[in-house]
Amino acid sequence: MVARRRNDGAARAASSPALALAVLVVFAFCARSASAVGSAPHAAFSYKEGDPDGPEKWSTLQKDWALCDSGTEQSPIDIAEVVVSKDLAPLEQTYRAGAAVVQNRGHDFMLNWTEGNGKLTLNGKEYTLLQVHWHAPSEHTVNGTRFDAEMHMVHEDSTKEKTVVSVLFSSKAAGKDSKLLDDLRPYFEKLTGKQNATEEVKGPIDPADWIDKASGYYRYEGSLTTPPCTEGVIWTILSKVADASAEQIDSLKSENKVHRR
């Protein structure tokens, strides 16, 4: 089933294999929040409202950033109403372990594999995993609820079209940590406050376990969430929220402040 959009935005999503591979089509409201899935250098814009280069001014900073204001399929969104469909299959990936580097980009932390990584297959097309980054709190919301953090796994196909897999994190379950964040926390802490600095990760990083195969997912077509806000990006947001401790969430804040629009 194809997603429909209302005047104020819309989206779609998908469910787990346990529900007969049903796909959830989401009618969502565009929150017009921003994350770091974009192509502009982070120093070229700000997330702070009221700044001369803040989110409400992005469309005026460069001519090719006009979509940040005039776009009709902008991300992130609030996932509001869900209708079950059967169009989409479980996520197929061939990720692998490899050497990686963590960078503080100023607004977030990003992890890159030095020799690239595996692929994600969507609708018969292969997308290569380019990088992963984190935000605290989350960019996307579900029924108006914002989560403690969000991880974006950014992929690109041979024609440069992008798709992003998103994992939401919550620290509400006391005593439950994230192994993923626990492994990377020392690098986040070393890089906090050091914009553009990098740290080589000791040992290979394998993202194969970062996507919970038992989780359903929401699917919609949106945009890059930083300038130039290009549309046509396929978003997949896992419906199962991952656990993390409050300390792990705090370690994601590259400048010890909120980095979302």
Residue 178 pLDDT > 90, yes or no?
A: yes
**Confidence tier at 43 by pLDDT (50, 70, 90):** low
**Are the C-beta atoms of 93 and 121 separated by less than 8 Å?**
yes
Binned at pLDDT 50, 70 and 90, residue 163 comes out as very high
**Mean pLDDT rounded to a whole number for the chain:** 83
Give the C-alpha separation, 106 to 42, whole Å: 7
Q: Which is it for the CA torsion 34, 28, 244, 113, positive or negative?
A: negative
d(CA 68, CA 51): 16
Q: Report which of 149, 154, 140, 141 is spatially closest to residue 110, judged by C-alpha positions.
A: 154
pLDDT grade for 160, boundaries at 50, 70 and 90: very high
Query: Residue 41 pLDDT > 50, yes or no?
Result: yes
Output the pTM of the full model: 0.85
pLDDT given for residue 179 in this prediction: 95
pLDDT, tens only, 231-243: 999 999 999 999 9
d(CA 143, CA 177): 25
Residue 71 tokens, joined: 């776009």
Across 27-31, 64-68, 97-101, 241-245, least confident range: 27-31
Taken in order of first residue, the domains within the chain and their CATH numbers are: 17-251 (3.10.200.10)
Residue 75 has pLDDT above 70, yes or no: yes
Catalytic residue IDs: 107
Does the structure show a pLDDT above 90 at 18?
A: no
Task: Name which of 166, 228, 222 is nearest 39 in CA terms.
Answer: 228
- 221 confidence band (pLDDT: 50, 70, 90): very high
36 within 8 A of 135, measured Cβ to Cβ: yes
- Confidence grade of residue 228 (pLDDT, cut at 50, 70, 90): very high
